[in-house]
Structure 1
Amino acid sequence: MATSQLQSELANANSTHQQGNFRFALVALTSLFFMWGFLTCLNDILIPYLKNMFDLNYTQAMLVQFCFFGAYFIVSIPAGALVGKIGYQKGIITGLIIACIGCLLFYPSASYGSYNMFLFAFFVLASGITILQVSANPYVSVLGPAETASSRLTLTQAFNSLGTTVAPFFGSWLILSTVEHDEKITEVGEVIGQLSVQQQASAVQTPYLILAASLFALALIFMLLKLPLLGKREAKSKTSASGSAWQYPHLVLGAVGIFVYVGAEVGIGSFLISFITQDGTSGVSESEAAHYIAYYFGGAMVGRFIGAAVMQKIKAGKVLAFNALCACILVAAAILSAGTVAMWALLLVGLCNSIMFPTIFSLALQDLKQHTSQGSGILCLAIVGGAVLPLLQGMLADSMGIQFAFILPLLCYGFIGYYGLIGCDVKRPETTENA
């Protein structure tokens, strides 16, 4: 229903705008996908950095992801209501400004050396990204012909993965290497004691000021763009739809699948640097270890293109189950082995992750008919797994050690394998569809 309304709005908009005029808009939208992938991946760089700075245990360090992905759960529904009132373009501008404020908050957080202020900055930043996602995802799908919507979304998602691949090099260069350099100077100068928290925290000020300026520039660009006013709901037509999306077992299982997938992906990414820098793994510095995160997310980018081609010939559920099985084997290898074998086993999980989120999402929405929009909202809320499961993994790391804590992602991938083989095909309820 919402999609047909948007396509109608787009048809009206196209009567006064040339389709070619939207090309720059799509380029600008693609930059948004790159930016929020970039910003999300920087968390994996900052977690070990903040852990060392504030002398945190793993549970406390994982509060970064708890606050960041918790924003998805808290802000998603209000963001949807906001975008429904002001439209997609103004929603994007609002999201960019809020994300910009979140980046600016890293400056006083560093100046005061307050972990709680850092956590609040992460929450504000993620709130802006959530509004961006609620606005930009459907905007890309309707800003052009319906028959090419999937190709546009695939392209923009690929640039999201590009952002997560580039971010580790940026974080390593401007954040981790700066702290390590200052620590070496301290040792050479024989200065007693460690660097102060404020000195270490200042390493994040310049990078996040650069990011804030970039987000503000993007907000100005979207203010100046002349785009069709899409997404604004003028009046709600209340057609009575019997039942609810919750009555579809494959959707409920799919929501669990999204919950555990995001939790597993974020959990592994959050612990990668700490795991790689262990003496039993590689023992390299944190700035060197940060480069390896690019392989984790770069694998997801490559696998997305491979998976898209494979799923044209093989059933999506089977491909999902195969990837989940490979992920289980790799995580088990990382738990049971040591050295570079364990490191590369964990990094290769990124290749398996590639198709999981969009595949689970699409399988869970099959056959929902008039409940599709409600089902989509449920699946978006399930992203909160990125807040909950890494925190639990942190507790396991504190009690069992970081290597054995990967048992939690292993169980998550086991459930995803079940969903791909069985859960996505469970019997649908018999409902009467209202036209």
Structure 2
Amino acid sequence: MASPITTTATSAVPPAQEGVRYGPALTLLATLFFMWGFITVINNTLLPHLRSVFELSYTQTTLIESVWFIAYFVASLPSAKLIERIGYQKSLVAGLGIMALGALGMILAARLPSYGVTLAALFVIASGITLLQVAANPYVAVVGKPETASSRLNLVQAFNSLGTTLAPLFGGYLILGRSASGTAAAGAAAITPAQRLADAQSVQLPYLIVAATLVVLAIVIARFPLPAMGAATQRAAKEERKHHSLWKHRNLVLGVPAIFIYLIAEIGVSNLFINFVSQPRIGNLTHEQASHYLFLLWGGMMVGRFFGSFAMRAIAPERALAIASVGAFIVVLVAASTTGHLAMWALISVGLFHSIMFPTIFTLGIRGLGPLTEEGSGLLIMAIAGGALVVVQGWLADRFGLQTSFLLTAACELYVLFYALWGSKPTHRLPDHRIG
């Protein structure tokens, strides 16, 4: 299966690459991690906004995010093919360009306004992010010593979390803070059609800013002297791969559903957070006020990733993952079964426990794959499509109540615990390879 560009079948760096410093390249990649995290989490403020503008049910609202994550499944294989065809650096520029086109599509959707065009524009943005993810995650994982891969990816993912932390403030001010629905008190009378039209158009300015920023970043990357990876990013020879099978590696086979299921939990918490804490029996807040607490949810994830990056130099990644999953399970149960500020702060604290999960599962999943690392990485990136099943939580919220729907999140945490304790143990381990 075609998949991300990543490791080599040889253990040494090609002679032309000896002495190359990858620090500047990783710094630039951290900027990309920041940007796609920022844009992804704008959705958390966009969804309650669109729910009001288009008068959507929870199922229809979460369908918006499902379309976003379906893009990971659809675009992952074409992204790998594109990287193979035009190279790493040009693919990064192309990914940013695709995202900018999607952001301009959001401006068009706001002017119409149109639910269908909104879905299409978000799909385009997510496809561009997929192209960036397919290259960047495995690249960071293999640049350096294999034993510190989890630490390294957690560190770079922390900059992703910096973007997700700042996005609610951006969206809260420029989208919710400038709309009638965003500033309305809980339980207030429904807004008028004229107010809905004005609210729909309030997203034009933020997405114009996003599009302009993406174009500038694309120009910077196009002119940046990224180190040529040479043979280090070429696919392992077909003859060598014939002797190995992905399906013999338990840590990958069980890691793919671990990523898939984890994304259901992460996206469900973040996307329904504003609606949850705005309820009179929980926080009794306006959507704009709730977006400030969403900032704390993502801020906890950022802090957790910076801390986890250093902690996992001394603690085994699977052990850290087990501790995080138990903590997440407990606080989600508290959020699902209590009321008031206790429930609100319990859900906020989920970000701290979720922080290390994706990068740790990813690096545990590709551990010991050797020349099969690129195929394994591709499967793990495709598994991000699990976020599309957030629509299931939306359906549960419509049928059984928003608070009860978080029991699905608790069940997801239990699978992550299973993976940490048993599923992540490598079988048929092959020699680790690294770049640099």
TM-score above 0.5 = yes
What is the match of residue 39 of structure 2? 39
What is the match of residue 219 of structure 1? 218
Partner residue of 2:16 out of 9, 12, 35: 12
Q: Partner amino acid for 1:291?
A: H
Q: 1:73 to 1:231 in 2, by over 3 A?
A: farther
Q: 1:239 to 1:363 in 2, by over 3 A?
A: same
What is the match of residue 355 of structure 1? 356
Alpha-carbon distance in 2 for matches of 1:40, 1:155:
19
Asked which structure has the greater RCO (Cα within 8 Å, sep 6+), the reply is 2
Structure-to-structure mapping, 1:11-410, within 5 angstroms: 11-12=15-16, 19=21, 25-140=25-140, 153-180=153-180, 193-230=192-229, 237-240=237-240, 241-388=242-389, 390-410=390-410
Instruction: Please give the secondary structure, in 2, of the residue aligned with 1:422.
Output: helix
Long gaps (5+) in structure 2: 185-189
Alpha-carbon distance in 1 for matches of 2:14, 2:431:
30
Alpha-carbon distance in 2 for matches of 1:181, 1:250:
46
Alpha-carbon distance in 1 for matches of 2:133, 2:352:
23
Question: What CA deviation, in whole Å up to 9, does each residue of 1:365-406 have, x standing for no partner?
Answer: 233333222222111111111112x11000000000100000
Work out the percentage of aligned pairs sharing the same amino acid: 42
Q: Partner amino acid for 2:411?
A: L
Alpha-carbon distance in 2 for matches of 1:175, 1:422:
44
Alpha-carbon distance in 2 for matches of 1:38, 1:357:
17
- How far the C-alpha of 1:25 sits from its partner, in A, is 4.7
Q: Partner amino acid for 2:297?
A: Y
Aligned residues: 422
- How far the C-alpha of 1:67 sits from its partner, in A, is 1.1
Alpha-carbon distance in 2 for matches of 1:124, 1:72:
11
Alpha-carbon distance in 2 for matches of 1:182, 1:158:
29
- How far the C-alpha of 1:23 sits from its partner, in A, is 6.0
What is the match of residue 3 of structure 1? 7
Bigger shift: 250-259 or 331-340? Answer: 250-259
Q: 1:10 to 1:29 in 2, by over 3 A?
A: farther
Q: 1:212 to 1:11 in 2, by over 3 A?
A: farther
Bigger shift: 249-258 or 350-359? Answer: 249-258
Alpha-carbon distance in 2 for matches of 1:411, 1:170:
32
Question: What CA deviation, in whole Å up to 9, does each residue of 1:350-379 have, x standing for no partner?
Answer: 111011112222222233333222222111
Q: Partner amino acid for 2:238?
A: K
Long gaps (5+) in structure 1: 185-190
Q: 1:101 to 1:238 in 2, by over 3 A?
A: same
In the alignment, is the contact (CA less than 8 A) between 1:9 and 1:230 conserved in 2? no
Question: What CA deviation, in whole Å up to 9, does each residue of 1:159-181 have, x standing for no partner?
Answer: 11100000000000100010038
Alpha-carbon distance in 1 for matches of 2:158, 2:6:
25
Q: 1:263 to 1:147 in 2, by over 3 A?
A: closer
Alpha-carbon distance in 1 for matches of 2:159, 2:430:
39
- How far the C-alpha of 1:300 sits from its partner, in A, is 1.1
In the alignment, is the contact (CA less than 8 A) between 1:53 and 1:197 conserved in 2? yes
Q: Which has the larger radius of gyration?
A: 1
- How far the C-alpha of 1:2 sits from its partner, in A, is 5.0
In the alignment, is the contact (CA less than 8 A) between 2:7 and 2:373 conserved in 1? no
Q: Partner amino acid for 2:192?
A: G
Question: What CA deviation, in whole Å up to 9, does each residue of 1:261-298 have, x standing for no partner?
Answer: 11100110000000010001011110110011111111
Q: 1:425 to 1:7 in 2, by over 3 A?
A: closer
Q: Partner amino acid for 1:252?
A: V
Alpha-carbon distance in 2 for matches of 1:425, 1:29:
29
In the alignment, is the contact (CA less than 8 A) between 1:183 and 1:195 conserved in 2? no
Bigger shift: 75-84 or 301-310? Answer: 301-310
- How far the C-alpha of 1:303 sits from its partner, in A, is 1.2
Question: What CA deviation, in whole Å up to 9, does each residue of 1:3-58 have, x standing for no partner?
Answer: 2479978752678xx84xx7655443322111101001111111100001100000
Alpha-carbon distance in 1 for matches of 2:182, 2:60:
25
Question: What CA deviation, in whole Å up to 9, does each residue of 1:330-360 have, x standing for no partner?
Answer: 1111111001100000110111101111222
In the alignment, is the contact (CA less than 8 A) between 1:58 and 1:394 conserved in 2? yes
Q: 1:37 to 1:366 in 2, by over 3 A?
A: same
Alpha-carbon distance in 2 for matches of 1:314, 1:152:
14
Alpha-carbon distance in 1 for matches of 2:409, 2:191:
42
Q: Partner amino acid for 2:319?
A: K
- How far the C-alpha of 1:429 sits from its partner, in A, is 5.2
Alpha-carbon distance in 2 for matches of 1:31, 1:6:
29
Q: 1:173 to 1:86 in 2, by over 3 A?
A: same
